[in-house]
Amino acid sequence: MEPLPLPITQAPPLNAGAAPFLAKAPPFWLPMRHFVAAAFSFWLFAAALVWGNNRLLGFAFDARWALGLTHLLTLGWITMTIMGALIQLMVVVHGVPFAAPKRLFWAWALFSAGAAGFVGGLWAGFDRYWIPAALAAAGVLLYLQVFVESLLAGAKLDWTGRHVACALGYLSVVILLGFILAYDRERGLLFHDPRGVLIAHIHLALVGWVSLMIVGVSYRLVAMFSLSHIESKAPGALALVLANIGLLGLVLDSLFWGRRLLAAWACLLAAAYAAYAFQMNGIFRGRLRRFDPALAYTLLALLGGAVWAALGLGLAFGFVKDAIPQEIAYVLAALLGWATPFILGQIHKIVPFLVWLHAFSPRNWRPPLHIPRTQDLASETAAWWEMGFLAMAAYALIGGFLFEKAALIRAGSWSLLACATLYAANTALTLSYLKRPWIPSKPRS
């Protein structure tokens, strides 16, 4: 006979958990509003790509449309997700009580309004799009203030912490250079080589901010989720050194030296990625868990990173035509082939864990109530379908721009929209458990 549910008056209050982490953790709504806003941005990017993919090739190419799409993906999806994850990660990495939720709320508000205004301004033809860019920059500065305080409060920077510190430093430069570029783009008062500034800005964002953050976080999260032990950190340490040298050289070369040594810096960055991939190979070889969607997403991301590095070498050495469609393929390899699979894989673990922690962790549960596991709060089947659609989308889009095939771009756009829609639905399913924090069920055998 099915056990009767507890009366709702007997259900323990939300957030009354016994987990020690809750005493130090940020308010649940703070990271979660980042994840919800990011999911919406990802879906909006995919929908806009479906609607306007004919503006991205040939004579119909619309630079403002392409720039708006790029920043919707980089700011609204990738950076917003990373900020939400960092709010949680800082507590886990350093073990210090969380502080400044109000400052982070205002950081989120300023950043969200600025990013939305910047993308909307580009699409609407607003000439002073540097104004909302300044709002986004102010939001990032507030984030940086809180995160740097957390880094300084810790006893020392561990392996992940050093990557996070480097990534935050590069983010500050990305924001400064991006704001200057937005203001000076049409004036040419500060930089007489806008293309060089754009190359520096793109790589500071893709390599310095996004990639170093992903690399540092992957060492901790992938090892934790796969129950793997890291025996040697030498390849990862080499990757960090090579990545910093290659990136700084590329940025200085682009800004001040006339882009004379781009091939050399591309080789250093590709070598850094190879060292990182070797480190990750050791983690996967020592894993104790089966391949679930999170680990499969990570492998997909590693493949995407290899494709991105190969395209970078091809562009630097002239094997790939240096034109706008091929440059878009290069950027999409970084954003959809490398960053997005890794983010989706980790978020499929983080969001259910946070919901379970705040809805099901109280200590006063009593039989016959049997609470779900974290993996029960989302659909694993949907996660596998998301990954399949994402893989098809990423490589159709990369191939479509690389070979300038409109049919591939259309197919990739629709596939990405399917992925984003499934991801949004899966996130909504997980969040729905907050409204039903007690669920009667039979014991699992």
Helix (H) or strand (E) holding 336: none
Q: Is 445 helix (H, G, I), strand (E, B) or coil?
A: coil
Give Cα 306 to chain centroid, integer Å. Answer: 18
For residues 245-261, average pLDDT:
94
pLDDT band at 155 (very low <50, low <70, confident <90, very high): low
pLDDT band at 222 (very low <50, low <70, confident <90, very high): confident
For the chain, what percent of residues have pLDDT higher than 70? 84
Q: Which region, left, alpha or beta, applies to residue 440 given φ > 0 means left and ψ of -120 to 50 means alpha?
A: beta
- Closest CA relative to residue 37, chosen from 134, 133, 109: 109
For residues 31-60, average pLDDT:
95
Distance, CA of 399 to CA of 333 (rounded, Å): 10
Mean pLDDT, rounded, of the chain: 86
Each as own residue / partner, the long-range contacts of residues 405-411 (CB below 8 Å, 24 or more positions apart, any chain) are 406/53, 406/54, 406/57, 409/53, 409/56, 409/57, 410/50, 410/53
User: Is 90 exceeded by the pLDDT of residue 417?
Assistant: yes
Helix segments in 130-261, DSSP class H? 130-153, 159-184, 194-203, 212-226, 234-256
Contact status, residue 437 vs residue 11, Cβ threshold 8 Å: yes
Distance, CA of 216 to CA of 208 (rounded, Å): 12
Q: Higher pLDDT residue, 82 or 287?
A: 82
Q: Higher pLDDT residue, 164 or 357?
A: 164
User: Which pLDDT tens digit goes with each residue over 76-122?
Assistant: 999 999 999 999 888 766 666 667 788 999 999 999 999 999 999 99
- Closest CA relative to residue 144, chosen from 118, 164, 115, 117: 164
Give Cα 407 to chain centroid, integer Å. Answer: 28
- Closest CA relative to residue 57, chosen from 413, 411, 403: 403
Distance, CA of 355 to CA of 181 (rounded, Å): 40
For residue 227, the model assigns a pLDDT of: 65
- Closest CA relative to residue 424, chosen from 80, 39, 50: 39
Q: Encode 213-248: b = buried (16+ Cβ within 10 Å), e = exposed.
A: bbbbbbbbbbbebbebeeeeeebbebbbebbbebbe
pLDDT band at 444 (very low <50, low <70, confident <90, very high): very low
Sorted by sequence, the CB contacts under 8 Å of residue 21 that are 6+ apart come out as 91, 92, 357
For residues 220-243, average pLDDT:
83
Task: Read off the DSSP letter of residue 4.
Answer: P
- Closest CA relative to residue 304, chosen from 268, 280, 322: 280
End-to-end CA gap in the chain: 16
Q: Is 59 exposed, middle or buried (0-12, 13-18, 19+ CB in 10 A)?
A: exposed
- Closest CA relative to residue 298, chosen from 282, 279, 312, 284: 284
Q: How many CA atoms lie within 13 A of 280 on its CB side?
A: 25
